[in-house]
Amino acid sequence: SRIPVVTLDGPGGVGKGTLGRMLAHDLGWHLLDSGAIYRALALAADRSGIAKDDEAGLVRLALELPLRFRGDGNQTLVLLHDEPVDEAIRTPQISALTSQIAVIPALRTALLQRQRDFARAPGLVADGRDMGTVVFPEAVLKVFLTASAEERGKRRLNQLMEQGISANLASVVAEIAERDARDQQRSVAPLRPAADARVLDTSAQTVVETYTVLQAWVKTAL
Ligand code: C5P
């Protein structure tokens, strides 16, 4: 397709979601939070008692999942069967289940077209793990964000606290590290920068500083 796509990939808690929302908002583009699709699938599986190793059941669920996103840019609502599930999909339990089912190749294939359908005019900002490597290989700009596990744990903890979810730093860091390991080590679409991605270490940067770099890259790429 000729629709311009900017991909933001990286590990959990690195700030992809925040930066993606800011960028989509400023450009007036659509936004794909691909992690929310994997998370909603995990939640739906959990609720309907589909086991994490039931590949056929999970693929069927992935193809039928009545999932909608409302709003673009700043405000997004994830709706599953018309129910807002933004909080339910971000609990530690669902986060862990998500990365466990995300290793299943057939499930990833089943979600491919659904993700590509987000590329509509005037453009798309897509965040996840394999946006630049698998889902949108033709992206005009591929960004891979990194930060230390400690720093990402702090960011994720703040995010959880803002949502009124209580947690402690050590458990959040441990949860993120476990998820990273699974995401990096899986055989299909592992977490890694695309060959043509620009890598940005955000450990010592504020969101505003990172966003300034990102905006300059976007300007050059478009
Ligand atoms: O980005 P987020 O933390 O919401 O993603 C949750 C989980 O979904 C990740 O840990 C990963 O296992 C999976 N995921 C994926 N591919 C993507 C986005 C998310 O495998 N493109």
CATH of the domain at 92: 3.40.50.300
Query: Which pLDDT belongs to residue 73?
Result: 46
Does 173 appear as a known binding residue?
Answer: no
Instruction: Tell me the best of 31, 33, 34 to mutate to test the pocket of ligand 1, counting ligand atoms within 8 Å of each CB and taking the most.
Output: 34
Q: Is residue 222 part of a domain?
A: no
pTM above threshold 0.80? yes
Q: Is residue 92 part of a domain?
A: yes
Q: Is residue 111 part of a domain?
A: yes
- Alpha-carbon distance of 129 to 176, in angstroms, equals 14
- Tokens at residue 53, please? 């190793």
Say which residue the tokens 């290793």 belong to.
103
Cβ count near 134 (within 10 Å): 18
Does 12 appear as a known binding residue?
Answer: yes
Q: Is residue 181 part of a domain?
A: yes
Query: Which pLDDT belongs to residue 75?
Result: 54
Q: Is residue 220 part of a domain?
A: no
Query: Which pLDDT belongs to residue 70?
Result: 83
Q: Is residue 155 part of a domain?
A: yes
Query: Which pLDDT belongs to residue 76?
Result: 66
Amino acid residing at 134: V
Domain count, the chain: 1
CA angle 86, 91, 93 (to 5 degrees): 135
Cα(99) to centroid(ligand 1), Å: 6
Structural domain boundaries, residue 121 = 5-215
Query: Which pLDDT belongs to residue 2?
Result: 85
Q: Enter the ipTM.
A: 0.98
Q: Are 90 and 39 in contact (CB under 8 A)?
A: yes
Query: Which pLDDT belongs to residue 68?
Result: 87
Query: Which pLDDT belongs to residue 1?
Result: 54
Does 153 appear as a known binding residue?
Answer: no
Which residues in the chain come in under a pLDDT of 50? Answer: 73-74
Instruction: Tell me the best of 93, 98, 136, 152 to mutate to test the pocket of ligand 1, counting ligand atoms within 8 Å of each CB and taking the most.
Output: 98
Q: Is residue 137 part of a domain?
A: yes
CB contact set of 136 (below 8 Å; sequence gap of 6+): 5, 7, 116, 119, 124, 126
Query: Which pLDDT belongs to residue 11?
Result: 93
Query: Which pLDDT belongs to residue 8?
Result: 98
